[in-house]
Amino acid sequence: MMTTPAERTGSAILALEALAVLLVTGWEIVALVTGDTDDVVSSIALIVLTAIGAVALAAFAAAVWRGHSWGRSGGIVSQLLILAVALGAITGPTPSVSTALVTAIPAAIGLVALVVAARTVAARRDDERR
């Protein structure tokens, strides 16, 4: 089965987001090692959860690339969560429009690509049934 341009776009965005979250994990590890944390146990928990998020995004990217519906579903949920983070960046106690835009623009593009991919696959399946 050939992947569509929407699936390739969604997969690429998910992969880039996985890389970004992996970089955040590395930043958290550096902060822990250099003593730039208040609570070691909480820092370790955050590192583990961030790493799990990076792995999940990478798995969604691979699944979307291969045309699996669970990858699209997980990717759509991930994009919605990332958009929520972007909203928090603009409405929080120290609003940052640039951070919100850098976070929201790829997530919005990824969300649109994944929804288009899901609709394309559904239309293809409907055509095959007829």
CB–CB of 122/91 below 8 Å? no
Q: What is the dihedral of CA 10, 11, 17, 19, to 10 degrees?
A: -160
> pTM value?
0.91
Residue 128 pLDDT > 80 = no
pLDDT-derived band at 122, boundaries 50, 70, 90: confident
At 73-116, the pLDDT tens digits run: 999 999 999 999 999 999 989 999 999 999 999 999 999 999 99
User: Where does the chain show beta strands of DSSP type E?
Assistant: none
Residue written as token pair 């583990």 = 48
pLDDT-derived band at 3, boundaries 50, 70, 90: confident
What is the arithmetic mean of pLDDT over 15-41?
A: 96
> With left for phi above 0 and alpha for psi between -120 and 50, is residue 35 left, alpha or beta?
left
